[in-house]
Amino acid sequence: MDTSSTTDHLTCVGIQSELSDFWDPIQVHVLEQVTSTNILAKQAIAGDVRNYLFVAESQTSGRGRRGRSFYSPKGAGLYFSLAFPWDREETPVLVTTMAAVAVCRVLERELGVDASIKWVNDLLIDGRKICGILTEAVMDRETSHVGSVVVGIGLNLVQPDDGYPKEIQEIAGAVTDGTIAVNRNQMVAQIINEIGAIIEEFPDRGYLDEYRRRCLILGREVELDSGKRIIPLEITDDGALLYREDGEWVVIDSGEISVVGFSR
């Protein structure tokens, strides 16, 4: 499949011209190949107070949560990291939920695609992962508090020409079959603009209602890292999971889960 017919050339001007005033000023960098856009964004924002955006055609060491990798071949997806100061009372953990809702909104509005969220950072279509999100806090060296946040997004637009590696063939999917034209510059900008729009609404966290509605694990049996099985019933205003055990509410604010009976 010739993916060039479904995606256009990424450029700094093409992206920056579509960004909202919320992110002004911002330095936009578009690169052919990098190890990881998150690594570059963390290096740039360290000790700085500006906004940065790094976008790459491909990554050789795309990063996921808990040291996992994210397959990032050229011509098949969007791989970008946004870095910005964080001096708010809200926990930066919420940035992951913001990014998930932002991507879902843009996919639905622009491509008519309805994606689901698997807590906390994966987006799925028809049971296959099409997007991963990695949020990292950068500490201020002087105060030892969170000074900025980096959110990295990897979005599979089309299936790679050579297919997915064997280890993720049963897991990975793509947003389109390659027949739908996608303006990648606009899509990057629109996702970032949606994140900005959600931040502007703070302290209101109404967007979490959309996150809850799209979350596919609520009310379903899932398995925790420990092997324990639970049924999450709610998501808190800080993005944590809630379930009941022995008549008491229990909070899970980190970790990995898998849906029982759901092979992917």
- 244 - beta bridge partners? 249
Residues 6+ apart with CB under 8 A from 118: 124, 129, 215, 216, 217, 257, 259
Question: Looking up tokens 């022995």, which residue turns up?
Answer: 246
Is 177:130 a contact under the CB 8 Å cutoff?
A: no
Predicted pLDDT of residue 238: 94
pLDDT of residue 4: 38
**How confident is the prediction along the chain (264 residues), in pLDDT tens digits per residue?**
333 334 578 999 999 999 999 999 999 999 999 999 999 999 999 878 899 999 999 998 776 655 567 888 898 999 999 999 998 888 888 999 999 999 999 999 999 999 999 998 999 999 999 999 999 988 877 676 788 999 999 999 999 988 888 888 889 999 998 888 899 999 999 999 999 999 999 999 999 999 999 999 999 999 988 889 999 999 999 999 999 999 999 999 877 778 775 544
Give the pLDDT of residue 66: 54
Residues β-bridged to residue 251:
242
Residue 53: predicted pLDDT: 98
Write down all domains in the chain, each with its CATH number in brackets.
Answer: 3-214 (3.30.930.10), 222-259 (no CATH)
Q: Which residues contact 73 (CB under 8 A, 6 or more apart)?
A: 58, 160, 162
Where do we find the tokens 């959110």?
A: 151
Q: Coil, strand or helix: which one is 213?
A: helix
The rounded mean pLDDT for the chain is 89
Residue 199 token pair: 């931040």
DSSP at 11: -
Distance CA 91, CA 173 (A): 31
Tracing tokens 């060296």 back to the chain, one arrives at 141
How many other C-beta atoms lie within 10 A of the C-beta of residue 10? 19
